[in-house]
Amino acid sequence: MEKKGQSYLREVRERIKSKEAKDFVSAELDSHIREAKHEWMKKGLDEAEAEEKAVGQMGSPVTLGQKLNKLHRPKVDWLTMILLVATMGLGFIPILFVDPDYSLRIGMDAGDFFKHKAIFAFLGGAVVWGMMLLDYRKIAKLGWLFYIIGVLILLTINLFSTGIVDGVPIVVLGPLTIESLMAIPFFFLAWASFFNNKKLKLWHLGLLFFHSCYLLLMVPSTSTIYIYVVMVFVLFWWSKFSRKQILTTMILSMGSCLMAVGVLWPLTSPYQKVRLLAFLNPEKYSNDEGFMILHIKELLAKAGWFGNSTPLELLPGAHTDFVFVGFTYHYGWFLAAVLVLILCLLVARIIVISYKIHDPYGKLLLIGAVALYTVQLVSNICMTLGFFPMTSMSLPFISYGLMPILLNSFLIGVVLSVYRRKDLMYRHSIPLSN
């Protein structure tokens, strides 16, 4: 004969549509029934009577099942979805300033731009949807696997590079291009898992960090290394370690970096030195690396509040790294401010969601997503305004390029996955009948 508790759980599950919610509710209800049953047995009832009493406390299985179906069904964060669609839509605006001269320089007219951008947006949307449907809790313990995948990507580039784009080696396998940025999503998932793992010591994490940094430096891609280091340190700040350990480690790390800069500066190639010096004093290097800095300042000065109708002058990367310059020049500072506001709203939304999440791993994923998205946004705009050295850094969802769109779509998908299951993470959250 079927036990009273099992029969009750089966009836409740029948009223719940989501499989994830069914499993969650079953575990929670079973825990409640066991605890209540144990209490009744301590009062002298035998097992069968104690189970019947415990089940009786739960109320009608039909009513409870309907109530739990509403309470624990997976949810879609439509506000984040709307902001995502808005930002992806804004990414098509640079098509409007792809004039014939610029088309010749980049080998792509407005029609090609639109077609490629539409394909990238579609693939980005597929990544968002796929990550949202994936239960992030199932990958919480796969940190080592993700770390190894990230390492293999970097080793593949280091050992088998078949070309160089913007001074960075890549591997081309038919239609697939493997670049260092592809390792970031895997390292992101790995570090969220590592910082959630209480068994890993600080020195373990230090070895993993320096090993991955060494592989990134071997590529090398300054922008990839930069966003990777920022992501790891932000996750570290919000990890399980004490504030004393975190502050001590960060101070030592910054000191080590300064020492490394002092040691490596004489060995740095001349063009890299000039690039840094031009950032500090562009007028002195106006004939080489400082020219682009001064040219961008000139274009932005001509923009005005509502844009400039004259064609955009020579600006390499006006649809990629310097898309914010082209946008501001053509549409003015007013619409540029609106663009930045919309992009920042995504950051604000993720931060708001993070306060609603009590699962440590889920919270780390949100923190890492904010770090990776924000570092791109802030760095690109600051680079445009002259507050940051020139580097290859995309403006999220606006710059042209497949990998940056897939990376940021992945981040938003992770955020939606955590939000979708935010009501499936609390212990003893089952409403009981009185």
Q: What is the tens place of the pLDDT at every residue in 301-328?
A: 888 888 777 766 677 777 788 889 888 8
Residue-wise burial string across 408-419, b where 16 or more C-beta atoms lie within 10 A, e elsewhere: bbbbbbbbbbbb
Q: By mean pLDDT, which of 43-57, 237-251, 351-365 is the weakest?
A: 43-57
Q: What is the mean pLDDT of residues 184-193?
A: 96
In the prediction, which pLDDT does 241 show?
Answer: 86
Q: Is the separation of the CB atoms in 246 and 254 below 8 Å?
A: no
Residue 177 reports pLDDT greater than 80: no
* Residue 192 pLDDT grade (very low, low, confident, very high; cuts 50, 70, 90): very high
3-state secondary structure at position 315: coil
Interval 78-98: pLDDT, tens: 999 999 999 999 988 887 776
Q: Average pLDDT of the chain?
A: 83
Taking residue 341's Cβ as centre, other Cβ atoms within 10 Å add up to 10
Calpha distance 242→373 (Å, rounded): 26
Cα-based angle 153, 158, 164 (whole degrees, multiple of 5): 100
* Residue 415 pLDDT grade (very low, low, confident, very high; cuts 50, 70, 90): very high
Q: What is the mean pLDDT of residues 369-380?
A: 95
Residue 150 reports pLDDT greater than 60: yes
Whole-angstrom CA distances from 196 to 59, 139, 181, 269, 427 are: 37, 12, 24, 40, 19
Q: What is the DSSP string of 156-177?
A: HHHHH--EEETTEEEEEETTEE
Q: Is the separation of the CB atoms in 299 and 329 below 8 Å?
A: yes
Interval 325-371: pLDDT, tens: 888 888 889 999 999 999 999 999 999 999 989 889 999 999 999 99
Radius of gyration of the chain (CA): 27
In the prediction, which pLDDT does 14 show?
Answer: 72
* Residue 433 pLDDT grade (very low, low, confident, very high; cuts 50, 70, 90): very low
- Name 71's Cβ contacts closer than 8 Å, sequence gap at least 6: 423, 431
Q: What is the mean pLDDT of residues 7-35?
A: 74
Residue 431 reports pLDDT greater than 50: no
Distance of CA 119 to the CA centre of its chain: 21
Distance of CA 168 to the CA centre of its chain: 23
Whole-angstrom CA distances from 169 to 61, 294, 410, 412 are: 61, 29, 23, 28
In the prediction, which pLDDT does 348 show?
Answer: 96
Q: What is the mean pLDDT of residues 237-265?
A: 81
Give percent of the chain above pLDDT 70. 86
Whole-angstrom CA distances from 132 to 135, 227, 252, 362, 415 are: 8, 23, 38, 13, 8
Residue 257 reports pLDDT greater than 90: no
Q: By mean pLDDT, which of 14-18, 109-113, 368-372, 418-422 is the weakest?
A: 14-18
Q: Is the separation of the CB atoms in 377 and 396 below 8 Å?
A: yes
Longest dimension (CA), the chain: 92
Q: What is the mean pLDDT of residues 96-122?
A: 76
The torsion angles phi and psi of 94, rounded to 5 degrees, stand at: -55, -20
Q: What is the DSSP string of 350-415?
A: HHHHHTT---HHHHHHHHHHHHHHHHHHHHHHHHHHTSS-----PPTTTSS-HHHHHHHHHHHHHH
**CA-based nearest residue to 64, from 77, 52, 55:** 55
In the prediction, which pLDDT does 427 show?
Answer: 45
Interval 121-149: pLDDT, tens: 999 999 999 999 998 998 999 999 999 99
3-state secondary structure at position 178: strand
Backbone conformation region of residue 173, classed left if phi is above 0, alpha if psi is from -120 to 50, else beta: beta
Tally the residues of the chain: 434
Residue 186 reports pLDDT greater than 50: yes
